[in-house]
Amino acid sequence: MKNRTGITAIMVASVFGMTCLGCLSGDGAKIIKVSAKRFEYSPQQITLKKGTPVVFQFTTEDRTHGFNVPSMNLRADIVPGKITELKLTPQQTGEFDFFCDIFCGSGHEGMNGKIIVTE
Ligand SMILES: [Cu+2]
């Protein structure tokens, strides 16, 4: 349990240069890489286990996008040239829709995906 200084309670950390210095993954959480581009996320469907902490690492290939999961009260900006991290420990099983909430052009409305939380 080293390298935990100052990272325990951080929700979002953005790091320049696509490297992840002092990232949230130090506590053993599973890393889930999600890339965004007009007008889709990859992967579009993410399956998680209830009670198991994960760290999302968001990147974008073209421009700024959003990542918003209203039913989980979770959102982030995804900015070119950075890795944006978001920590999540799902507390409920079910299906949770996410979508881009930063207008990124014609087609933006269909930029969405799903988090599935299993027991
Ligand atoms: Cu968008």
pTM: 0.78
d(CA 37, ligand 1 centre) in Å? 9
Establish if 96 belongs to a structural domain.
yes
Kindly report the CATH number assigned to the domain that includes residue 82: 2.60.40.420
Please tell me the total count of domains within the chain. 1
Establish if 17 belongs to a structural domain.
no
Angle at 15 between CA 75 and CA 24, to 5 degrees: 70
d(CA 102, ligand 1 centre) in Å? 5
d(CA 6, ligand 1 centre) in Å? 32
d(CA 55, ligand 1 centre) in Å? 22
Establish if 1 belongs to a structural domain.
no
Establish if 4 belongs to a structural domain.
no
Owning domain of residue 99: 27-118
- Separation of first and last alpha carbons in the chain: 27
d(CA 44, ligand 1 centre) in Å? 14
- How does pLDDT run along the chain (119 residues), one tens digit per residue? 444 444 433 444 444 445 555 555 556 799 999 999 999 999 999 999 999 999 999 999 999 999 999 999 999 999 999 999 999 999 999 999 999 999 999 999 999 999 999 99
